[in-house]
Amino acid sequence: DMWSWQNNVVPIQNYIAWFVIAAFFHSLLKIFKVKLSNPLAAHIIACQFVFFVVLLFLL
């Protein structure tokens, strides 16, 4: 396991920390007007979606 939580309950601080980190980096991208383009991203998301749907039905 990569992470283990007490009583298998993820503390709210974990979600808050991830939100703060993501908001910080998002703000940096907006402040510096960084334009990102990744044409492969939509295909990767579609593949992940299909993978997890198949996994849902197989397990």
DSSP-assigned letters across all residues of 14-54: HHHHHHHHHHHHHHHHHHTT-----TTHHHHHHHHHHHHHH
What pLDDT is recorded for position 50? 98
Where along the chain do its domains lie?
6-58
What pLDDT is recorded for position 1? 64
Question: By the 8 A CB rule, do 11 and 5 touch?
Answer: yes
Question: By the 8 A CB rule, do 36 and 29 touch?
Answer: yes
Q: What does the pLDDT profile of the chain (59 residues) look like in tens digits?
A: 678 888 989 999 999 999 999 999 999 999 999 999 999 999 999 999 999 999 999 98
Q: What is the CA radius of gyration of the chain?
A: 17
- State the pTM of this model: 0.63
What pLDDT is recorded for position 4? 87
CA 30 – CA 24 distance, rounded (Å): 10
